[in-house]
Amino acid sequence: MLPLGQRVSQKITQVIKREMDATGAQEMLTPVLHPFELWKETNRNNEMGFELMKIADRREVEFVLGGTAEEMFVDVVRKYKLSYKDLPMNLYQFSLKFRDEIRARGGLLRVREFIMKDAYSFDVDEAAFQKSYEQIAVTYKNIFDKVGLSTKRVLADNGYIGGEYCHEYVVDSPVGESHYLYTEDGTYCAHTDVAEFERTKVNADETEKPFETFEQPQWVCTMEDNEKHYKLPKSHFLKNVVYKHRVTGEIIIAVLRGDLEVNKTKLEKALDATGQLENASDEDLHKLGTKTGYVHSWGHGDARYIGDVSLTAVKNFIGGQKEDKTDSRNVNYGRDFSCEKLADITMAKEGDTYKGKKLVAGRGIEVGNIFQLGYHYSHKMKGAEFTDKDGQLKPYYMGCYGIGVGRTLAAVVEIHHDDKGIIWPESVAPFQIHLVGLNLEDAAVKELAENTYKKLIGAGVEVLFDERTDVTAGEKFADADLIGIPLRAVVSKRTGDKIELKKRTEKTGELVALDSLLKPIQQA
C-alpha cells in the first residue's frame, strides 16, 4: 500500500471499526504465527482445501501463518472461566492473513497476504447466536453501504471454516469470482456451490423399457455425439465424472444427467471431504480398467459411485456401460444400477427453478462473509465452555465474520471509476480535496494557492496540494482524475482571486471565493 492507498485502507478500517464497536464487539489482536498444535486440535491441519503456510522456528517448533483465527480466539477465550453473564461476546481484530494461493489475481482481489477484519462470536445457545448473527448481518450491510458498495447477501459454502451455513456479501462485478443464482423476488440468493434447484422430470410419461446392450457407431463418444446421433437432448444420457480423494486415494465416480455439470464443492460436501477431491488422471482411469469416454455408471471395482438426485428424474437413460462398439439403453436408476448415495452434486444455472421460481445468474466480488460455526470448534477444543445458569459447563455456540480490507478497497475501485481513473466515495477518499496550483511562478497566484492550502488545513480538511512546477496543467488534471479525490480546487491566473471547485463526478466546476470554499466540503 503506497501512501494514498494506505489512507483509503485506514478509512475503510475506521468505518468497519465504528460499526463493529457499535454492536458491542471488542477489538483485540492475536499473533499471525499460530502454534501448529492448535490446528491439530481441530484437525484443520489435515484439510487440504486451505492453503496453509507453515514455518518452524530455531527450536523446530512448528507454526502456521494464520489464514483464519478460530483456534486462536477459542484458545484465548477458554483461558478465562466465563459465565453466561459474560455472553454474548464478540471479539474482533484487524490482522494479516496468509493464503498460499496458486495464483494471485485482480490486483488486490486475490492476494497471498492481506489485512482482514475477523470477528468471533460466543453465545450461550443457538437462539442467542441467531440474534448475534443477524446483528452482524445488518452491520455488514451498513459497512458496505457506507464505503459505497451495494451488496447482496448470498448463501454460500462454508468450506474449511466448518459449521453448517454461511453467507457471502457480494458486490456485483464482471471481474468477481463469486457466481450465484437468485430469484427475482429476492427470497433466495445462493452461491452456485450451494444453490439448490429442482430437477424437472424429463420424460415422466414414458414407461420403463427393458434394459439392453446394443451396437453403437464407434464415433459416438461425447455428449455432443449423443445429441447428434440420437436426436435427443443431453438430459436423456448418463454422464460419469471421475475424481480421486487426495488423502485416501479412493476413486469417486459422480453419475449424473448428461445436461448437468458436477459442482465439486457439492460433491465434496456429499462425501464429507471438503477440499479433498481432485480430477482423476489418465493413469487413475487406466488402473480402473477404462479411459476417458468409456467410464461405466456401475461396476468399476472399488470405485465409490455418488449419483445426482437428477438420476430419478429420467426414465430409460442411454449410456452407462459404453464399450468399444456397444452401449446400453433403457437404463433406469434403482432397477438397473444404483449408487452409494444420491445427493445434490450438480450446478444450478440460470433458468433452473427453486420452489417454482426461475433462477437468475449473478456474478460479483465477495467482500465479506459470515459463518455459523455452532459447536464445530467448541466441541473439538478442550475447555471451550462457559458456566451456564444451572452451574453446568456448556460449549460455546459460535460464529465468525470476515471482511477483507484490501479486497473491499479493490471492489470500491471496480465500482467507482471511469476511463480517467478512480472516483472515490467521500467516506473512503484518501483526501477530501485535491488542490491544484497552476501558474505558480506568478506570485499572486502562488500566494492564493498557499493561503487556500493553509485555510483548508487550518479547518481540519484533508487536502492534497499539487504544487509541482515542472508538469503541465493537463498533466495535473489527468493526475487529479486518476487519483479520484471527490473535490478538485484549482487556483490559477485564469481563476483570478477565485478558486475553481469541481466534483470528480462532474464535467464543469464553479468559481468560489476563498471564504466560501469550506461550505461544500463541510456539507459533504
Handedness of CA 199, 202, 204, 208 (dihedral sign): negative
Nearer to its own copies, 364 or 406 (CB): 406
Handedness of CA 480, 481, 483, 485 (dihedral sign): positive
- Window contacting its own copies (CB under 8 A); options: 27-35, 263-271, 408-416, 445-453: 27-35
Minimum CB distance to its own copies, residue 419 (Å): 24
6 is an interface residue for its own copies by CB under 8 A: yes
76 is an interface residue for its own copies by CB under 8 A: yes
Alpha carbons 312 and 199: distance in angstroms, whole number: 9
**Among 520, 407, 380, which Cα is nearest to 461's?**
520
| Cell numbers given for 116 | 482482514
In sequence order, what are the residues at sequence separation of 6 or more whose Cβ sits closer than 8 angstroms to the Cβ of residue 471?
A: 479
| Cell numbers given for 263 | 459442482
58 is an interface residue for its own copies by CB under 8 A: yes
What is the distance, to the nearest Å, from the Cα of residue 12 to the centroid of all Cα atoms in its chain? 18
| Helix (H) / strand (E) containing 394 | strand 393-395
CB 180 within 8 A of CB 170: yes
Instruction: Out of 14, 24, 46, 54, name the contact with its own copies by CB under 8 A.
Output: 54
Nearer to its own copies, 53 or 137 (CB): 53
Residue type, 473: A
Window 266-305: residues binding its own copies (CB under 8 A): none
Alpha carbons 15 and 412: distance in angstroms, whole number: 14
Minimum CB distance to its own copies, residue 104 (Å): 11
- Window contacting its own copies (CB under 8 A); options: 28-36, 294-302, 350-358, 513-521: 28-36
53 is an interface residue for its own copies by CB under 8 A: yes
Task: Give me the helix-helix angle, 3-22 and 405-415, nearest 10°.
Answer: 110
Alpha carbons 427 and 449: distance in angstroms, whole number: 26
- Window contacting its own copies (CB under 8 A); options: 31-39, 183-191, 192-200, 290-298: 31-39
Alpha carbons 283 and 413: distance in angstroms, whole number: 46
Window 88-147: residues binding its own copies (CB under 8 A): 91, 96, 98, 100, 102, 112-113
DSSP state, 110? B
32 is an interface residue for its own copies by CB under 8 A: yes
27 is an interface residue for its own copies by CB under 8 A: yes
CB 293 within 8 A of CB 176: no
Minimum CB distance to its own copies, residue 380 (Å): 23
Alpha carbons 68 and 50: distance in angstroms, whole number: 10
48 is an interface residue for its own copies by CB under 8 A: no
81 is an interface residue for its own copies by CB under 8 A: no
82 is an interface residue for its own copies by CB under 8 A: no
b/e per residue, 112-128, with b = 16+ CB within 10 A?
A: eebbbbbbbbbbbeeeb
57 is an interface residue for its own copies by CB under 8 A: yes
In sequence order, what are the residues at sequence separation of 6 or more whose Cβ sits closer than 8 angstroms to the Cβ of residue 454?
A: none
Nearer to its own copies, 457 or 459 (CB): 457
Phi/psi region, residue 439 (left: phi>0; alpha: psi -120 to 50; beta: rest), is: left
Alpha carbons 176 and 199: distance in angstroms, whole number: 28
| Number of residues this chain uses to bind its own copies (CB under 8 A) | 31
Minimum CB distance to its own copies, residue 248 (Å): 22
Minimum CB distance to its own copies, residue 85 (Å): 7
Nearer to its own copies, 79 or 231 (CB): 79
9 is an interface residue for its own copies by CB under 8 A: yes
482 is an interface residue for its own copies by CB under 8 A: no
Nearer to its own copies, 51 or 284 (CB): 51
Residue type, 384: A
Alpha carbons 121 and 116: distance in angstroms, whole number: 16
Nearer to its own copies, 28 or 223 (CB): 28
**Among 433, 434, 446, which Cα is nearest to 493's?**
446
**DSSP character string of 34-100:** EEHHHHHHTTGGG-TTS--EEEE-TT--EEEE-S--HHHHHHHHHTS--BGGG-SEEEEEEEEEE--
Integer angstrom CA distances of residue 86 from 79, 83, 122, 137, 181: 14, 6, 9, 22, 40
Nearer to its own copies, 119 or 238 (CB): 119
Nearer to its own copies, 8 or 256 (CB): 8
- Window contacting its own copies (CB under 8 A); options: 6-14, 186-194, 276-284, 333-341: 6-14
- Window contacting its own copies (CB under 8 A); options: 30-38, 192-200, 441-449, 516-524: 30-38
Minimum CB distance to its own copies, residue 434 (Å): 16
Minimum CB distance to its own copies, residue 392 (Å): 18
460 is an interface residue for its own copies by CB under 8 A: no
- Window contacting its own copies (CB under 8 A); options: 20-28, 148-156, 396-404, 507-515: 20-28
Nearer to its own copies, 60 or 506 (CB): 60
Instruction: Out of 14, 18, 22, 28, name the contact with its own copies by CB under 8 A.
Output: 28
Instruction: Out of 24, 31, 217, 351, name the contact with its own copies by CB under 8 A.
Output: 31
470 is an interface residue for its own copies by CB under 8 A: yes
Alpha carbons 478 and 137: distance in angstroms, whole number: 39
Residue numbers at the binding site for its own copies (CB under 8 A): 1-3, 5-7, 9, 26-29, 31-33, 51, 53-55, 57-58, 65, 76, 85, 91, 96, 98, 100, 102, 112-113, 470
